[in-house]
Structure 1
Amino acid sequence: MTEPLNDPASYPASWANRFTLGDWNTRASVRISDHAYQLPSDLGRQLETRHWFPPSFLPYLKHPAVKAAGSSIVHRLTANHLVYFLDYTTLLEHRIVNRSVETIVHNELGISIPPRMKTAALQLYTDEAYHALFSNTLAEQIADIYGMTDRPVMPQRIARLNALIDRTPDKHKALAWFLVGFVSETIIAKELLDVCRDTLVSSVQEMLRDHLADEARHSRYFCEVFHYLWLQLSCGQRTFTARLLLEILLVFFEVDERWLGESLCSASLSETSVAQILCDLTGPQAQRLRARSGASATLDAMKKAGFFDLPANRQLFYRAGLLDE
């Protein structure tokens, strides 16, 4: 087993210039973007050829009952999903990711924090606050168009992550917060990349592209910090990390059944159709398939850090269906 490296000087020389967000002053959206994220005046025309959210991300749109309901229902369901995603993003950035970043900024992880790592963490913290702002700005406009009054809701994922942290022993809490941020940032970067390939309403496209440009750097940063941290963890901390990472990953690919059921009902779908859609999406096999695909960047970062060099970790993730033997 690789022994923890407690002396930063013992790290590879190639790491000397890591742990940065690059030219943050001239690249971060909070510093340079001139987008106002206001819905376009020709919204009706755009919706003839564009989407609120990529239909390919919402497999239930292929259900016969949804297809039979027509384009206006599809627009409503994709708008519901986008607003939910934006409200979730606002909460995630403030209460999850930035709390994770605080463990780096304020030396809560019990490791030596290089100055570059801390500076980048503070920049990342600033980025995330801006992401929360522009997510909320856009969500409010879309919700007003469709008369969405029962929002924001507490997303199941946020509730589950908070519960996971709450039951974590105090000695591992800071590490748990970091790991949640690591998973979140590596997953969202891939998700945004895929989302931005679709043709969306112009202001939505602008916002998501600005978000993606930042998150691509954030993902790289969290991968590097995870590698740095993994090399210094004790045997007990590594065991805790392996089990928690698996649990976190699966939480990120659960379906929020309550919210999705309410969204489908708002489109006047029958109870039978709603139940069938939820059944198709919520089984354990469907969850594993989503995780294998959506967490590929996370799993790759873990592999590069040497996480899967430990046979017990490979077996754990193999048995969960997230890794090939």
Structure 2
Amino acid sequence: MNATALEPAFQFTLSDWNTRASVRTSTHDYRLPNDVMQQLETRHWFPPAFLPYLAHPAIEAAGRSLLHRLTARHLVHFLDYTTLLEHRIVNRAVEVIVHGELPVDVPLSMKTAALQLYTDEGYHALFSHQVAEQIAGIYAIGGRPAMPGRITRMEALIARTAPEQRPLTGFLLGFVSETIIARELLDVCRDNLVSGVNDMLRDHLTDEARHSRYFTEAFHYLWRHLDPQHQTFAATTLLEIIETFFEADEPWLRKSLRDAGIADSTVHEIIDELTTGQANRRRARTGSIATLNALKKAGFFAEPHIRILFVEAGLIDG
């Protein structure tokens, strides 16, 4: 068998986009139900299991009303973050593919699918904003959208990157984001959520599952065609990006807890527990499984010096 026969068969398509993308086919209007308060007797705004600080004795003792207020605040912040992420990070990653800014030439099929993905992400930003506005109105959540710490860190990474490497950095940010968010949405959608929120997140998940596959394949193609210098740059940058995605948003969380009436002593305890290096590494290792699997599939860890980097960071086993 010749070498060509062993090459991966890259397709770069969003399967049946015309009949499956939520922007083309969804019938949901993403309005919260009139009986939302009744639904909250058995449902959630956001899965409490995803927010370990809700298990603090002071918060548990305060009852379900505070739990709903805190999960609503978290969901609004997550949706505001999603709107910014889709516009400033993911669609920027798509632009570098479409407009030939990467250090390797890419197939036309990759560019065409990227344009479809760009359309999807604009719609995700729209419905995330629409749902966030409704929930913020119920709980009188002001001062938004607060700039998420994750977006600030990602934009800072791009700003300090040499101009000639920024397109590749932008693509890598999109790759990590899309492989992470598909897994996150899948886990979130397993909870019993308020209708409207549930409809929106499930439509988002349906699209992101395909986006994750697309970015996985696009990274695989890119990795095989990068020269060693660009591969080394990509490896160190990916490590920083993954770590960035799992740092706690300390300023926002501190303000959210205080605005909800949580005592300063409790706020300090929660923040201290969430922001340790060990806690960050644990979140990164468990939360980036899909990204790490995509890297492995591309042969990323076949390079010993790259594997050592990720072992030392605690993301993979030696």
TM-score, with structure 1 as normaliser? 0.96
> What is the identity, as a one-letter code, of the residue corresponding to 2:172?
L
> What is the identity, as a one-letter code, of the residue corresponding to 2:294?
A
Which residue, 180, 183, 187 being the options, matches 1:187?
180
Can you list the C-alpha shifts for 1:8-48, whole angstroms capped at 9, x where unaligned? x95856515x1100000000000000100000011111000
Match of 2:253 in 1: 260
Structure 1 segments unaligned to the other structure (5+ residues): 1-8
Query: Could you say if the C-alpha distance between residues 184 and 245 of structure 1 is closer, same or farther in structure 2, counting changes exceeding 3 Å?
Result: same
Match of 1:6 in 2: none
Cα distance in 1 for residues equivalent to 2:266 and 2:148: 23
The answer to whether the aligner puts 1:80 opposite 2:73 as a matched pair is yes
- CA shift for structure 1 position 132: 0.1
- CA shift for structure 1 position 304: 0.7
The answer to whether the aligner puts 1:167 opposite 2:160 as a matched pair is yes
Cα distance in 1 for residues equivalent to 2:243 and 2:142: 30
Which residue, 46, 50, 59 being the options, matches 2:43?
50
CA contact (8 A) 2:53 2:270 kept: yes
CA contact (8 A) 2:103 2:168 kept: no
1:38-187 equivalences under 5 Å are 38-187=31-180
CA contact (8 A) 2:176 2:291 kept: yes
Residue 87 of structure 2 aligns to a residue in which SS?
A: helix
Which residue, 264, 274, 277 being the options, matches 2:267?
274
- CA shift for structure 1 position 110: 2.8
Cα distance in 1 for residues equivalent to 2:303 and 2:39: 52
Which residue, 11, 16, 19 being the options, matches 1:26?
19
Match of 1:15 in 2: 9
Aligned residue pairs total: 316
Cα distance in 2 for residues equivalent to 1:57 and 1:82: 11
Which residue, 298, 301, 307 being the options, matches 1:308?
301
Query: Could you say if the C-alpha distance between residues 11 and 251 of structure 1 is closer, same or farther in structure 2, counting changes exceeding 3 Å?
Result: farther
Can you list the C-alpha shifts for 1:57-93, whole angstroms capped at 9, x where unaligned? 0000000010011111000000000000000000000
Residue 278 of structure 1 aligns to a residue in which SS?
A: helix
Match of 1:232 in 2: 225
Match of 1:245 in 2: 238
Cα distance in 2 for residues equivalent to 1:67 and 1:312: 46
Cα distance in 2 for residues equivalent to 1:230 and 1:12: 16
> What is the identity, as a one-letter code, of the residue corresponding to 1:241?
A
Can you list the C-alpha shifts for 1:176-227, whole angstroms capped at 9, x where unaligned? 0000000000000000000000000011010000000000000000000000
Can you list the C-alpha shifts for 1:94-148, whole angstroms capped at 9, x where unaligned? 0100000001000100322212111100000000000000000000000011111
Residue 141 of structure 2 aligns to a residue in which SS?
A: coil
User: What is the root-mean-square deviation in Å for CA atoms of aligned residues?
Assistant: 1.1
> What is the identity, as a one-letter code, of the residue corresponding to 2:52?
P
Cα distance in 1 for residues equivalent to 2:26 and 2:135: 21
Match of 1:204 in 2: 197
- Structure 1 vs Structure 2: percent identity of aligned residues? 64
1:284-303 equivalences under 5 Å are 284-303=277-296
> What is the identity, as a one-letter code, of the residue corresponding to 2:123?
Y
Query: Could you say if the C-alpha distance between residues 69 and 21 of structure 1 is closer, same or farther in structure 2, counting changes exceeding 3 Å?
Result: same
Extract structure 1 runs of 4+ deviating beyond 4 A.
9-14
Cα distance in 2 for residues equivalent to 1:108 and 1:12: 28
The answer to whether the aligner puts 1:319 opposite 2:312 as a matched pair is yes
Cα distance in 1 for residues equivalent to 2:60 and 2:252: 20
Residue 9 of structure 2 aligns to a residue in which SS?
A: helix
The answer to whether the aligner puts 1:221 opposite 2:209 as a matched pair is no
Can you list the C-alpha shifts for 1:225-252, whole angstroms capped at 9, x where unaligned? 0000001111111110110000000000
